[in-house]
């Protein structure tokens, strides 16, 4: 039947080729999965089944962190950055190399490059929310999407930034901010953002952000005041990840509707969304 | 012996005994990317109300051991938009379309049933008697008189097969099942979700914006089995089982206690192609067991008198 030929491949059996413990409960899983990698864009996510059992039940959503290629430049897989926060991530942090892992994806909408090649792209990430920006840096640091890239990375302390050395040589300028001053400037990442926006002096810029909601809300406010376009990759509690459960919603403006807003499913309308439309 | 997977539930004939549970499959559109929808005897869409509904504030889902809670709040586009757009997509599927309806009140249910009765391409209507996540959403599922009155009023407005979806949040599901039967339901579906809660004691906050929500998933399967067993003993009507069904063995267990068909829900969040997988496994298990039709298994639970008791 015609419908079968059009069906995209979204369920994959990846192989865990390497697991790296990064310290302070962070880990990176290197997953071999050429089909998935070939179509995965930065900002999209995969929904990972922790094991072939009913406990834990739901898949866990992860951005692609690194984009893996072989010596000839062909896509071989992705890596994901994990932080142990509960049962699922605790199991993942102990996954054995060689394990087959079911991945659902790529899901969601990716970051879109700004049309003007002179645009300075400011990536503002907090903690594990920094993950999609390594893939983005790989994607936008060469070729037709090449843009000037600045990574502004924030955390409470250096312990939240143990993976930042993965950006070495990737193609973005990296600036750090920690609330306790243990790495980079002391303070919140928004301090770095405000300084960068001031230094633009009329140069076009685009801000992309991912991290805790409160941080992204602050980034959105600053960008709105500066008149700089801003897109956020939202992390919400998800049920399905592909649009059927209606769980992962965010309030967005809906001019003309009875209450002026509606609930948008971040898994299909996002996770990358225009900050100006979101009711923070 | 050729395997015949079709099942007959009173006036409703289905090519396979699998359906999607309302609220867990959208309107089937997303599922088509993962399987040929002919693996399902029917697609039951998310509840449709007369007016669009915004739904509940975030967070709307919380995972629990082998299950989850949800409090979506019946977010839907409303009758008008559904009929103009989404329903046409459902009609084009290679399976039957079943519309689930929900009302704030008696009049809204009856209004919806009357409207859908005149729409082509609908195989049956399911009444969501029992959404636990909206105010006043429970009375038709918990009060025997209200249940019978509502089903009877809906019955009077349609000749389509009418399915009454029962709630487990009652003292006796058997009494509600009988009330729905008296009201004129053709089929009973059991069960909707159990009302539950999840709390973070450190923040002292409920994990759902609505505080309470509906519990679903494998964790409730034993509870659902007991409810379906009770409904079977109380009523002769065909039953669609719902409640944590995640694989072919689960489907067969529900058939043994008395179900005629099975709706799958939460497992679709985990495995979007669960319909095709479960149907494939179901065929294999029936053939291995020498059973030529799922109907043969229906209500074959053996009583305790058949167990071997050493005197």
- Determine the 3-state secondary structure of A112 from DSSP: coil
Nearest alpha carbon to residue B177 among B161, B169, B186, B166: B166
Other CB atoms within 10 A of residue A180 CB: 12
Where is A4: in which H helix or E strand? helix A2-6
> Could you say which of B24, B39, B131, B147 is catalytic?
B131
Query: Superfamily for B7-296?
Result: Aldolase class I (3.20.20.70)
User: What number of CA atoms fall less than 13 Å from residue A215's CA on the CB side?
Assistant: 31
Predicted local distance difference test score (pLDDT) of residue B135: 64
Determine the average pLDDT of the residues in A252-267.
95
- At B272, give phi and psi (nearest 5°): -60, -20
Instruction: Work out the average pLDDT over A251-276.
Output: 96
Alpha-carbon span A120 to B177, nearest angstrom: 65
Record the tokens describing residue B127, joined without a space. Answer: 């009444």
Contact A210, A132 (CB under 8 A): yes
Tens-digit pLDDT profile for residues A149-177: 999 999 999 999 999 999 999 999 999 99
Separation between Cα atoms, residue B61 and residue A242, nearest integer Å: 14
Rounded to a whole number of angstroms, the distance from the CA of B177 to the nearest CA of chain A is 28
Q: What's the pLDDT score for residue B130?
A: 77
Q: How far is CA A53 from CA A193, B25, B67, B247, B277, in A?
A: 44, 21, 12, 11, 15
Residue B309's pLDDT is 52
Q: Mark yes or no for CB contact A55/B31 under 8 Å.
A: no
Mention every residue, 6+ apart, whose C-beta is less than 8 A from residue A274.
Answer: A229, A230, A231
Length, in residues, of chain A: 280
A263's enclosing H/E stretch is strand A261-265
In this prediction, residue A1 carries a pLDDT of 43
The per-residue pLDDT for B311 is 47
- Minimum-distance CB partner of A244 among B25, B75, B217: B25
Residues B19, B261: contact at Cβ < 8 Å?
yes
Low-confidence ranges of chain B (pLDDT < 70): 1, 131-137, 305-311
Mutate: best of B48, B57, B60, B92, partner A, most A CBs <10 A: B60
For chain A, what is the mean pLDDT?
96
Which residues of chain A are at the B interface, by a Cβ-Cβ cutoff of 8 Å?
1, 3-4, 7-8, 10-11, 49, 54-59, 104, 236-251, 259, 262-263
| Nearest to B176, CA basis, from B114, B112, B130 | B130
Instruction: Pick the closest to residue A110 from A80, A79, A136 (CA basis).
Output: A136
- Nearest chain B residue (CA) to A7: B33
Structure tokens at B305: 């008198």
Q: How far apart are CA B20 and CA B32, in angstroms?
A: 12
Q: What is the pLDDT of residue B2?
A: 86
User: Residue A237: in which H helix or E strand, if any?
Assistant: none
In whole angstroms, give the CA distance from residue B103 to residue B74.
Answer: 10
Q: What is the DSSP string of chain B?
A: ------EEETTEEESSSEEEPTTSSTTSTTGGGTS-GGGSSEEEPPPB-SS-B--PPSP-EEEETTEEEE-----B--HHHIIIIIHHHHHTSSSEEEEEE--SSHHHHHHHHHHHHTSTT--EEEEE---TTSTTTTHHHH-HHHHHHHHHHHHTT--S-EEEEEPS-SS-HHHHHHHHHHHT-SEEEE--PEEEE-EETTTTEESSTTSEEEEESGGGHHHHHHHHHHHHHH--S-EEE-SS--SHHHHHHHHHHT-SEEEE-THHHH-TTHHHHHHHHHHHHHHHTT-S-GGGGTT-PPPGGGS----
Report whether A208 contacts A172 (CB < 8 A).
no
- pLDDT tens track for A217-227: 999 999 999 99
What pLDDT digit, counting tens, does each position of B75-102 carry? 999 999 999 999 999 999 999 999 999 9
CATH code for the domain defined by A11-107: 2.40.30.10
Measured in whole angstroms, how far is the alpha carbon of residue B246 from the centre of its chain? 14
Q: Report the CATH number of the A120-235 domain.
A: 3.40.50.80
**pLDDT tens digits for range B206-227:** 999 999 999 999 999 999 999 9
Return the residue of B nearest to A260 by Cα: B54
Any idea which residue has 């179900």 for tokens?
B259
Backbone dihedral angles phi then psi of residue B4, each to the nearest 5 degrees? -115, 110
Q: Name residues whose C-beta falls within 8 Å of residue A250's C-beta, 6 or more positions apart in sequence.
A: A234, A236, A263, A264, A266, A270, A273, A278, A279, B58
Known catalytic membership, residue B131: yes
Residue range A63-104, pLDDT digits in tens: 999 999 999 999 999 999 999 999 999 999 999 999 999 999
Closest partner residue to A237 among B23, B61, B272, by Cβ? Answer: B61
* Closest C-alpha among A249, A253, A242 to residue A279: A253
Please indicate if any CB of chain A lies within 8 Å of the CB of B63.
Answer: yes
- The closest alpha carbon to B22, from B165, B155, B229, belongs to B165
Rounded Cα distance between A88 and A91, Å, is 5
* Number of alpha helices (DSSP H) and beta strands (DSSP E) in chain A: 7, 16
* Alpha carbon distance B43, B18 (integer Å): 9
At residue A2, does pLDDT exceed 50? no
User: Could you read off the pLDDT of A33-56 as tens digits, one per residue?
Assistant: 999 999 999 999 999 999 999 999
8 A C-beta contact, residue B5 and residue B24: no
């Amino acid at each position: 039947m015609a419908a079968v030929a059009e069906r995209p491949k979204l369920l994959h059996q990846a192989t865990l080729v390497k697991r790296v413990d990064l310290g302070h409960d962070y880990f990176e899983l290197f997953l071999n999965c050429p089909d998935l990698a070939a179509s995965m864009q930065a900002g999209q996510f995969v929904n990972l089944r922790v094991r072939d059992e009913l406990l834990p039940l739901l898949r866990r959503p992860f951005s692609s962190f690194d984009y893996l290629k072989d010596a000839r430049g062909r896509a071989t897989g992705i890596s994901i950055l994990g932080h142990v926060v509960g049962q699922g991530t605790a199991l993942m942090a102990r996954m054995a190399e060689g394990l087959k892992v079911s991945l659902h994806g790529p899901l969601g909408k990716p970051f879109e490059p700004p049309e003007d090649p002179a645009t300075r792209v400011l990536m503002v990430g907090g903690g594990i929310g920094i993950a999609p920006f390594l893939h983005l840096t790989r994607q936008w640091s060469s070729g037709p999407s090449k843009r000037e890239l600045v990574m502004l990375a924030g955390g409470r302390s250096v312990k939240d930034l143990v993976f930042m050395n993965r950006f070495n040589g990737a193609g973005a300028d990296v600036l750090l901010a920690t609330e306790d001053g243990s790495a980079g400037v002391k303070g919140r990442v928004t301090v770095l953002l405000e300084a960068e926006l001031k230094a633009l002096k009329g140069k076009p810029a685009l801000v992309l952000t991912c991290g805790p909601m409160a941080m992204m809300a602050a980034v959105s406010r600053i960008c709105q005041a500066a008149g700089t376009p801003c897109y956020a990759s939202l992390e919400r509690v998800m049920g399905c990840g592909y649009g059927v459960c209606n769980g992962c919603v965010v309030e967005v403006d809906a001019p003309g509707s009875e209450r002026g807003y509606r609930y948008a499913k971040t898994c299909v309308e996002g996770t990358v969304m225009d900050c100006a439309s979101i009711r923070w | 012996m050729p395997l015949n997977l079709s099942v007959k539930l009173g006036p409703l004939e289905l090519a396979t005994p699998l359906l999607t549970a309302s609220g867990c499959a959208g309107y089937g559109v997303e599922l088509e990317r993962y399987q040929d929808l002919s693996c399902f005897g029917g697609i039951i869409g998310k509840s449709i109300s007369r007016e669009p509904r915004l739904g509940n504030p975030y967070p709307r889902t919380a995972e629990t051991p082998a299950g989850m809670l949800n409090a979506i709040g019946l977010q839907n586009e409303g009758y008008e938009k559904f009929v103009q757009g989404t329903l046409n997509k459902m009609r084009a599927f290679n399976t039957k379309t079943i519309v689930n309806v929900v009302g704030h009140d008696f009049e809204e249910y009856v209004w919806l049933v009357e409207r859908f009765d005149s729409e082509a391409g609908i195989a049956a209507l399911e009444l969501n008697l029992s959404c636990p996540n909206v105010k006043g959403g429970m009375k038709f599922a918990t009060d025997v008189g209200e249940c019978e009155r509502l089903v009877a009023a809906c019955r009077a407005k349609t000749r389509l097969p009418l399915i009454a979806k029962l709630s487990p949040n009652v003292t006796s599901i058997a009494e509600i099942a009988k009330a729905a039967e008296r009201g004129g339901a053709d089929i009973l579906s059991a069960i909707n979700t159990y009302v539950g809660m999840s709390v973070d004691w450190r923040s002292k906050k409920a994990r759902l914006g609505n505080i309470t929500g509906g519990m679903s998933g494998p964790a409730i399967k034993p509870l659902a089995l007991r409810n379906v067993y009770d409904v079977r003993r109380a009523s002769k009507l065909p039953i669609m089982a719902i409640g944590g069904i995640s694989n072919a063995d689960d489907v067969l267990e529900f058939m043994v206690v008395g179900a005629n068909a099975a709706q799958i829900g939460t497992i679709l969040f985990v495995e979007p192609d669960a319909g095709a997988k479960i149907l494939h496994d179901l065929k294999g298990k029936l053939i291995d067991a020498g059973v030529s039709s799922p109907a043969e298994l229906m209500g074959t639970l053996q009583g305790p008198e058949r167990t071997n008791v050493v005197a």
